[in-house]
Structure 1
Amino acid sequence: METIQAFVKLGKHLTDFCEKCYRGEGNLDTDFSEAVTRAGQMNGWFTKENILHALEQWGALLTEENITDWLSRYPIKETASPKMVGIVMAGNIPLVGFHDFLCVLLSGNNVLAKLSSNDKVLLPYLTHYLIQQEPSLATRIKFTDGKMEGFDAVIATGSNNTSRYFEYYFGKKPNIIRKNRNSVAILTGKESAEELTALGEDIFRYYGLGCRNVSKIYVPKDYDFDSFFNAIFTYKDIIDQHKYANNYDYNKAVYLMSDFKILDNGFLILKEDDGQASPISVLFYAYYDSEDTLKRELNTQEEQIQCIVSGNGSIGFGQTQKPSLYDYADGVDTMDFLLQL
């Protein structure tokens, strides 16, 4: 299938580009380098490091073996009447809507994409590269800045507030509408320093802006936070990012003025809180008595939780930002939805 091969070539292109960047080579793809630079200029959260991380993960996923294995789970066949699928993309982390884009095209349908104002550069560049590899894709991919029209189905990702808008405008069409989600981690106090350091990746990658970022930890009574703070000290340079530092200073001031009890290591604030969605630079925590009881409680909150990280669960420490092709946002099988249109 020509579309699969185009994505395989894109995967290799991403991997080669990232490897050259990490090695500091000068003979980079100029257009790609400029796209990365412009993406960072348009969104201060999109640092080069975080953009490269996103590109590197997609490069690793877009191999012929991975794609073939993923698609083998579905009864995909060519259709003479592909549907136009509108994708309303979020912009919280680089290329956050790429999986939906991939699913629509590999399901045999066509894309009508509305990009977030926070991430308007990277996907058009990747689309241009894909069309160079497979020119027929030019008629299957459209971008729109205005009102979405002429679509048969919609995949829309946003907040709890925007989901009401999405449901009003798109509710009459087949749809997947995603709301706010957060990820949590369960600690037992027996984690190694290496595991806790890996957890720091789940917390700090993309400055905690993704739904797969850990925003809250559950700890046993009398948990020793010193071991946690020592293990994540390697991420201390995050405070040098001025947007992150501004959030840290603001949240710390608010908590101190409100007489909230907090734990603070100079770049991360820990606050005991019943909520799941912690602000940037803040990690919520809560105590538990029984791990089994906690897991049952979290199961009742499954519509608010994207990932549960633990040492003995399906998602290990440091793995939240490395989903596979069949890890679907909100647990809704996007490919199955598309194939039933």
Structure 2
Amino acid sequence: MNRIQNRIQAFVQLGTFLSQFSQKEIIKKDNIAHNDLFFDGFKHQIKLAGESNSWFTKENILFALESWSTALTSDNLNEWTTQLEGSEKAKTVAIIMAGNIPLVGFHDFLSVLISGHDVLIKQSSNDKHLLPFIAKYLEFAEPSLKGTITFTEQALTDYDAVIATGSNNTARYFDYYFKDKPNIIRKSRNSVAILTGNETDKQLEALSDDVFQYFGLGCRSVSKLYVPKGYNFDAFFNGMYAKKELIENAKYANNYDYNKAVYLMSLFDLLENGFLMLKEDQSYASPIATVFYEYYEDLETLEQKLAADADKIQCVVSKGVLSNEIEFGKTQKPKLWDYADGINTLDFLSKI
């Protein structure tokens, strides 16, 4: 078995291990490799991750783990890595990770290791518990990975390329600091939905997943709606009602109350249902518990606008509108080949 197949099998084992941690239940299964060593410890890491970041609810962490378990299959990994056959020139790739949602940097981590490179990781303090434990599991699953994974809290040194994710402000710093290295620098992005008024109740309820998963903190979270003139928002709010229990989360409720107060003091017109506010605004990035909306005249002009703003948009949710649209309810379930910012990470890693 060649080296890439060894790495693929290690991640397949990881996917099987993670399958024990789902939103429905956490249950220890038989015949899972290295389970006696890692199962209880990983349960503890999930608890620590939630305690250190109150946005990381148990449900959100388990959603992330379940999503990765579904993605890390032999079929998916083999299809995704076809272009990497024979690419075995090991370099050290530094990854600076964001911390907005659980395991947000895992795809970069996976990409570097599956490409045969060593990885040097600088984690966000908001998401520091899960990945080191997963890395230990991988080293047991595939001993050749030992020594290829390094975590650091110090300034990055001795690396050949970098993948860094941050805000628009930090991206300017990254662009300057890493200008002499091959790099992928990711900035803030948001996702949008285009509504026509012909959506079914089921589609709008599915859209509630795109809006509210991870409290809307992910770049694949829908933060902006485009609606036709005269659109009746009642159907939209009915779809969102499936997530009404979010207001029971204290941190979300505090953000809702604060942002509502700011809007009302500023005399902005709002539509709201007790846990979500809609505000007409041309911006893409909306505060927590708020979705911006904008009216469009016709779909062709809207498509041109979105194409011009492509560097600000991660996903577009719609039905029968755009060629690159994503189905309602699917933004938080990307495939391995659905690259952040549309940049093919494996292609980048094969050329450094």
Equivalence for 2:49:
39
* CA–CA separation in structure 2 for the residues paired with 1:319 and 1:199: 8
Aligned counterparts, 1:147-166, within 5 A? 147-166=155-174
Q: CA deviation at 1:136?
A: 1.6
Aligned counterparts, 1:200-219, within 5 A? 200-219=208-227
Write the letter of the residue equivalent to 1:76. Answer: E
* CA–CA separation in structure 1 for the residues paired with 2:84 and 2:40: 40
Q: CA deviation at 1:291?
A: 1.0
- CA 1:148–1:24 in structure 2 vs 1: closer, same or farther (change >3 Å)? closer
Equivalence for 2:64:
54
Contact 2:115/2:350 (8 A) holds in 1: yes
Match of 2:248 among 226, 240, 257: 240
| 2:270 maps to 1:270 | no
Match of 2:341 among 326, 330, 334: 330
Contact 2:21/2:27 (8 A) holds in 1: no
Q: CA deviation at 1:76?
A: 3.0
* CA–CA separation in structure 2 for the residues paired with 1:207 and 1:193: 22
Write the letter of the residue equivalent to 2:49. Answer: A
| 2:135 maps to 1:127 | yes
Contact 2:20/2:27 (8 A) holds in 1: no
Number of residue-to-residue matches in the alignment: 337
Match of 2:86 among 77, 86, 110: 77
* CA–CA separation in structure 1 for the residues paired with 2:16 and 2:243: 30
1:28-66 alpha-carbon deviations (Å, 9 max, x no partner): 921111010000011100001000000001000100010
* CA–CA separation in structure 2 for the residues paired with 1:94 and 1:62: 17
Structure 1's consecutive aligned runs of 4 or more residues displaced over 6 angstroms after TM superposition are none
Q: Gaps spanning 5+ residues in structure 2: where? A: 30-34
- CA 1:23–1:52 in structure 2 vs 1: closer, same or farther (change >3 Å)? closer
Equivalence for 1:68:
78
Q: CA deviation at 1:17?
A: 2.9
Equivalence for 1:317:
328
Local SS of the residue matching 2:86: coil
* CA–CA separation in structure 2 for the residues paired with 1:66 and 1:329: 17
RMSD between aligned residues: 1.3
Q: CA deviation at 1:2?
A: 1.2
Q: CA deviation at 1:3?
A: 1.1
Equivalence for 1:17:
21
Contact 2:20/2:26 (8 A) holds in 1: no
| Alignment TM-score, normalising by the size of structure 2 | 0.94
* CA–CA separation in structure 2 for the residues paired with 1:220 and 1:77: 51
Equivalence for 2:103:
95
Write the letter of the residue equivalent to 1:45. Answer: W
Q: Gaps spanning 5+ residues in structure 1: where? A: none
* CA–CA separation in structure 1 for the residues paired with 2:61 and 2:13: 19
* CA–CA separation in structure 2 for the residues paired with 1:175 and 1:23: 40
Equivalence for 1:4:
8
Aligned counterparts, 1:174-253, within 5 A? 174-253=182-261
| 2:309 maps to 1:301 | yes
* CA–CA separation in structure 2 for the residues paired with 1:149 and 1:136: 23
Q: CA deviation at 1:194?
A: 0.5
Write the letter of the residue equivalent to 1:191. Answer: E
Q: CA deviation at 1:75?
A: 4.0
Write the letter of the residue equivalent to 2:50. Answer: G
Q: CA deviation at 1:23?
A: 3.7
Contact 1:76/1:107 (8 A) holds in 2: no
1:133-186 alpha-carbon deviations (Å, 9 max, x no partner): 112211110000010000000000000000111112111100000001000000
* CA–CA separation in structure 2 for the residues paired with 1:265 and 1:259: 18
Local SS of the residue matching 2:196: coil
* CA–CA separation in structure 2 for the residues paired with 1:17 and 1:324: 20
Contact 2:209/2:329 (8 A) holds in 1: yes
Q: CA deviation at 1:16?
A: 2.5
- CA 1:51–1:303 in structure 2 vs 1: closer, same or farther (change >3 Å)? same
